[in-house]
Amino acid sequence: MRELEERIRTKAFEKAQCPVAEEALPRPEAGPPLPPKRGWLYTYRTIESPTGQPACLDLGFELYYVPSDTGSVNPGRIVESTQAAPDRYQFRVSRVGRERLYTYRAVVERVVDGDTLWTCVDLGFRTWTRQKLRLRGIEAPELSTAAGQRTRDFVAQTLAELPFVVLTTTKPDKYDRYLSDVFYLPGGTDPQEMLGKGLFLNQQLLDRGLAARFAG
């Protein structure tokens, strides 16, 4: 028993003197960068209105807006809106394609983990929606790991001081979180400038080895 106790004490001492190696971060994947989806703000697809008016606007997230007047715009067009008065909007046919729809200014409420955000999204027309979004094209380590904690901390610190971000969404994933490309610009106050010149958060996480490519 004395010999066993001595061995236990020796083993405990050796373990205390040996530093625990940090969990290695995933290495950045080689290959082409993730192509960003930079859309155009306040641009909408028009569809047939259920109210008998010429058209209503698809705001995204399965939400729709029926304006008092869309002018001569017919269903099936893409239009841009501008605010002519506090409760009045003007519309014009847009030259952008469908791939540039579903682009918004948004306020980040909470960083859930390295690739998931709770946001309040500005749809235009004084309409907002609260959405849980998933960063497109990447997969962060599990939050239960040290690597997952580091990725979440990076995203939280990066977005903490920003009044808003700009994002373009595509389709929802199997958990009904819309896949999103997120752009930010420290010190930026113009959403359109942020969209054009902002940093692409999804790619940043790949470049820093904080996330891996995800093709699903």
Q: How far apart are CA 28 and CA 180, in angstroms?
A: 21
Q: What's the pLDDT band for 103 if we cut at 50, 70, 90?
A: very high
Fill in the DSSP letter of residue 35. Answer: P
Residue-wise pLDDT tens digits, 3-53: 656 665 655 444 444 443 344 444 554 568 999 999 999 999 999 887 777
Backbone dihedral region for residue 155 (phi beyond 0: left; psi -120 to 50: alpha; all else: beta)? alpha
Structure tokens at 95: 């030259």
Would you say residue 112 has pLDDT above 90? yes
Residue-wise pLDDT tens digits, 83-102: 877 778 888 899 999 999 99
Taking alpha carbons only, the member of 87, 96, 127, 117 closest to residue 179 is 117
Structure tokens at 76: 């099936």
pTM of the entire structure?
0.83
pLDDT value, residue 32: 81
Q: What is the CATH number of domain 101-213?
A: 2.40.50.90
